Structure 1
C-alpha cells in the first residue's frame, strides 16, 4: 500500500466519512475516522495523523469547539486542520481565521475537491515532520543549532493581481493591509513573478479564461514558482469551471460573486501557509551545520548524519511506519577529471554536483554524500513510482549540464547512474542503501 500521508477524519455522518476515506485512500492516504469529538485526542496519539479533517454533526462536541480546542493546545496546534463548514464561508470565514483553521470548504462537497485542497496541507505537514525528526536526532547527538521554530511574520501580505482594475480594489477591501501589485497583462504578470516573490496571486479573467489557466499551469511547472498560491476567480462560476481551474493548478477557485469575507479567508489561509512553508525551509536550512554537513561538499549532509537519521527513522517502523524512498546517484566522468587535472579539480566538480542535487529536490528532501561521486537523496512520504520520476528528472538535468571545474579549461560533463528503493519492513540503513545502490559499470545502464 502506497502511503503519502495519514488523515484523521472526524465527521458525524459515517457514510460521508467512509466515502471521503475511500477517495483519499485511493490516492495514497491512510485514513482513520470517527464521529465523536471525545475520541480525537486518543486517535491523534495512537495514529499520529499528518492532517485532520473536521466536519459537522459530531457526537458530544460541537465542530467549532473541537477545532478551537485543538488549535489552542500546544500539542496539536501545529497539526494542519481542514474544516468542512456547514455554513457559507461568507458567514464563518472571519471566525475560522481567528481559530487558526488551515483551510475550509463548504460541506457537503465532492471528495475530489477535498483531495485537491488537502495535498498542500500534507506537504507542509511533511516539512514540519522532517524538521522535527532531524532536530530530534541532532538533540540526541548534541548537534542542534540555535534555530527558531517556524513562525508567521507580521509584514503585510504581498499579492499580485492579474485581471481588471476592480479586482485589485476587491482584494484591498478583503485584506486592508495587503501590498497589491497589478499586472496590466499576462506578459507583465510573468515578468513580475520572475522578478519578485509574492505571498499569493489572484487571477480574474475578464474574457477568455484559457490564457489565464495556461499561465496557472506554467506557474506549477516553474521550479521557482510552483508553490505560489493562486486564487482563480471564475466569471462563469460554474462547478465545471471551478473544477477546471483546480485541475490546471489553482490553489483555490472562487465564483466572481464570492463575498469579501470568503475572499479574505481564502487569501489569508493561503498567505499563512506560504509563509509557514518559507519559515520551515529556513528552519530546515539551519540544520546544515559543520556538525552535520559533509566536510568536502557544502550544503550536503554527511554519511554519518544520514546513517543517524535513517536509523532513527527505521527504529520506529514497527509502530509508526512512514513510507519513504531513497535514490542513489553515481556519476561517471568524475574520476577522469582527477586523473587528468588532480584531486582539487575533482573535489570542485563533486561539490558542484552536490549543489545541483540540493537545488533539484524539495526542501524536506535530504541530500547526503556517500563518498566520492556518490550521493543519496531521501524522499519522505514518496512511493517508489514517484521517486523514479524524480530520479529520471534529476538525472536528465544533470546529464545535460555543463560544469566548470576548478583549473579545468574545458567544458565538463558527467553521466549519472541512478537507482531507487522504497523502505520495507525489517529494513536497516545498510539494507535500504544496498537496494538503492547505483553501481557504475556493473549492470545498471546510465540514465
Structure 2
C-alpha cells in the first residue's frame, strides 16, 4: 500500500524521525512546520493522511484539525494527532476536534504503521465513492461535497459484545443517554446479530471467556451486511500486540481500560459519524444515479459510465504516481447458451454472473457491463500481483458452481479475463483497454477459463 503522508511538527528532529520510519515502508512524505502551512498543503495537494503534532506555536494541533475537518475540500483526510499529552481530556478534545486517532510520543513503530495503513484503507474507499459521484454528473453538488461533520451522531445502534455482563453494563451506562445499546454475552451469536443489519457499531471486549476476540471481529467482517460496520475494541495494556493485529484485520478503533466515559463517547461519535457519512454517500449515489449510466439487465454501470470513470481514475493515478489495473472479462461460449436454452435463460445467466462478479471483487473496484457478455472492472490502487489474485477469485467463483437453467438443470459457465496496468508513461484509457483486450484474446486462444496479464 502506498500513500502520501503529511507530517506536521515545528521540531525538525521529530519530523526527521517520523519521515525515516515512513520512507522505510515506501510511503511518500510531505512535511510542514506549522498548522497554517499544513492546511495550505492539504488544500493544494493530494494528501492521504496527516500526522499532526499538538503543541505548536500560533496554531496548535487542535485548532488545525478543527479547520481541516470543517473544510469540505479537506474534511475527508484522516488526521492522527502525535502528542506527548496522555490525559483522557486531551484525547477527548482531539476527538471532538475531528481527529481520527492519537499516537503518544515516543511513537511505537508497529502501532504507527498499523494506524496509517488502517486509516488510508478507509480513505481510499471514501475517495472511490466520491469519485463515482462526480462521474455520474447527476449527484447534487451538496451531496458530493458534504462533510462528515454535517452528519448527526446521536441515536446510534450499538452492540456491546462481552462475556462479562457487569463490564458490558458499565459500557452501556456510559452511552445509553445518547444511543441505543444492546448487550451480547454469547459471542458465538455475534455474526447472526450483525447480519440483521440492525447495528451501526460493534464494541468488542478483548477479554472473552472461551472466545478469541480477533476471530469474532474477522467473522463479523465476513458478513456482507456488516462488512463496513465499525468495530471498537476494549483492551487491556497487555493486549497491545493483538491490537496491532486487529487494526490490520480491519478493526477501526480501540480504547484502553479503565474506560474514561467522555473518551468512549467521543470515539463512538467519530465512528458513527463516519459510518453514516459513508452510508449517505452510497445512498445518494444509488438513488440519484440516472438510468443512462446503469445497465438495466444486470444493475451494473454501463459502458458509457465506465469510459468516463476510467478516464478520471487513470488521470488521478498518473497525477499521484499510483497503480491502476483494468480487468476485461468475457463469458466463454455464451452464444450456445442463448441458442440452446433461449434468451430468458441467457439473461438469467448474465444477472447471476454480475452478482458473483460484484461479490468477488473489492469495495474499491468498479464493475461494469461493457456489452453483450463482456464485463470490465476498474481497480484503483492495484498492482498486477493484487489484480491477479482478484481475477483468479472471480474466475473460480464462476467455474466452481453451475448456473441455473431451470428448476432441475444447471449450466457450467466459465470466464476468460485479461489484465492491464497503467505502466506506460503516456498511457490513455484507450491504450490500457487495448492491452487488456489483447490479454483477453490470448486467454481465449490458449484454452479459455483462465486469466492472462498483458505482461505475460
* TM-score, scaled to structure 2: 0.85
1:87 pairs with 51, 72, 85, which one? Answer: 85
Alignment match, 1:380: 380
2-side partners of 1:380 and 1:316: how far apart? 9
User: Aligned in 2, Cα 1:408/1:433: closer, same or farther, shift over 3 Å?
Assistant: farther
How far the C-alpha of 1:43 sits from its partner, in A, is 2.0
Question: Is 1:443 the counterpart of 2:442 in the alignment?
Answer: no
2-side partners of 1:147 and 1:73: how far apart? 13
Alignment match, 1:44: 42
Per-residue displacement from partner, 1:260-288 (whole Å, max 9, x unpaired)? Answer: 23322332222222222222222333464
Q: Is the 8 A contact 2:356 2:397 kept in 1?
A: no
Q: Secondary structure at the match of 2:116?
A: helix
How far the C-alpha of 1:412 sits from its partner, in A, is 2.1
* Aligned residue runs from structure 1 range 50-65, under 5 A: 50-58=48-56, 60-65=58-63
Alignment match, 1:411: 410
Q: Secondary structure at the match of 2:377?
A: strand
- CA root-mean-square deviation: 3.0
User: Aligned in 2, Cα 1:336/1:375: closer, same or farther, shift over 3 Å?
Assistant: same
How far the C-alpha of 1:386 sits from its partner, in A, is 1.9
Q: Is the 8 A contact 1:20 1:111 kept in 2?
A: no
Per-residue displacement from partner, 1:143-189 (whole Å, max 9, x unpaired)? Answer: 55798346634551111111112233332343232211111212222
How far the C-alpha of 1:15 sits from its partner, in A, is 4.0
* Aligned residue runs from structure 1 range 157-306, under 5 A: 157-163=156-162, 164-175=164-175, 176-206=177-207, 208=209, 211-235=212-236, 237-247=238-248, 249-286=250-287, 288-295=289-296, 297-306=297-306
**Structure 1, unpaired ranges of 5+:** none
Alignment match, 2:453: none
Per-residue displacement from partner, 1:365-414 (whole Å, max 9, x unpaired)? Answer: 21112222211111222222222222222222222233224x68621231
Q: Is the 8 A contact 1:37 1:61 kept in 2?
A: yes
2-side partners of 1:209 and 1:263: how far apart? 26
How far the C-alpha of 1:208 sits from its partner, in A, is 5.0
How far the C-alpha of 1:340 sits from its partner, in A, is 0.7
More displaced 10-residue stretch of structure 1: 367-376 or 103-112 = 103-112
Q: Is the 8 A contact 1:288 1:299 kept in 2?
A: no
Q: Is the 8 A contact 1:116 1:246 kept in 2?
A: yes
Q: Secondary structure at the match of 1:432?
A: helix
Alignment match, 1:427: 427
Q: Secondary structure at the match of 2:291?
A: coil
How far the C-alpha of 1:134 sits from its partner, in A, is 3.4
2-side partners of 1:375 and 1:441: how far apart? 15
How far the C-alpha of 1:23 sits from its partner, in A, is 4.3
User: Aligned in 2, Cα 1:128/1:251: closer, same or farther, shift over 3 Å?
Assistant: closer
How far the C-alpha of 1:108 sits from its partner, in A, is 3.2
Determine which structure has greater relative contact order: mean sequence separation of CA pairs < 8 Å that are 6+ residues apart, divided by chain length.
1
Aligned length in residues? 440
* Aligned residue runs from structure 1 range 9-48, under 5 A: 9-25=7-23, 27=25, 29-48=27-46
Q: Secondary structure at the match of 1:411?
A: strand
1:148 pairs with 143, 147, 154, which one? Answer: 143
1-side partners of 2:448 and 2:305: how far apart? 29
2-side partners of 1:13 and 1:58: how far apart? 9
Report the structure, 1 or 2, having the larger helix content: 2
* Aligned residue runs from structure 1 range 360-379, under 5 A: 360-379=360-379
2-side partners of 1:170 and 1:106: how far apart? 26
**Structure 2, unpaired ranges of 5+:** 451-456
1-side partners of 2:426 and 2:216: how far apart? 46
Per-residue displacement from partner, 1:37-78 (whole Å, max 9, x unpaired)? Answer: 232233224421122221234465322221122223343233
2-side partners of 1:444 and 1:303: how far apart? 27
Q: Secondary structure at the match of 1:39?
A: helix
Q: Secondary structure at the match of 2:325?
A: strand
Per-residue displacement from partner, 1:84-117 (whole Å, max 9, x unpaired)? Answer: 2432251123322332223333333213323323
Q: Secondary structure at the match of 1:237?
A: helix
